[in-house]
Amino acid sequence: MEDIRYCAPGHIFCRANKVMLAVDGSEGSARAAKVAFEVAELTKSKVFILHVINDSVVKQFSLMSESDPQEVLIKYESQGHKLLAGYKGAAEEYKLEVELLLEKGSPSDRIIQVAKEREIDLIVIGSKGMAGSLRGGVGSSAERVVLGSETPVLVVK
């Protein structure tokens, strides 16, 4: 079957070698993961699974709960590693090469920056993240990634 597959030069799915999946643990991320894994399987791409700890949320939570910011960050990092491990486990059935990335900062800014640094060919992101279900349409992080990225972005609804 692979021998008869035609790819016109320059098409995204023909030249993709690196697919980045941005995850936050939401239902939207789970749907995006399935699509990212299928695209990576089809294109034989390496998958970079990225989770960004929103540092402003960590600061706000530590202020509101009167907790030590470093302790709060450690808990967020632990949860982030567990989340990434879960997605890596889900990718195993596709027999993909996977690299896990845990970053801190503004999620949309870090997604865009990491994609640029790693020379990602395609970003896959859910249309709504953890906070996006409160709004209609596309979540704010997905919208900022689409508007700010030079890398093609596939938004999964």
Q: Which domains does the chain have, with CATH numbers?
A: 2-156 (3.40.50.620)
C-alpha–C-alpha distance, residues 13 and 122, integer Å: 9
Run of H or E including 20: strand 18-23
- For residues 46 and 99, what is the distance between their CA atoms, to the nearest angstrom? 8
| The predicted structure's pLDDT at residue 1 | 40
Let me know: does 88 contact 49? Beta carbons within 8 Å: yes
pLDDT tens, 84-141?
999 999 999 999 999 999 999 999 999 999 999 999 999 999 997 765 544 455 678 9
Q: Which of 140, 67, 88, 141 is nearest to 111 (CA)?
A: 141
Verdict on whether the full-model pTM lies above 0.75: yes
Identify the band that residue 154 occupies on the pLDDT scale cut at 50, 70 and 90.
very high
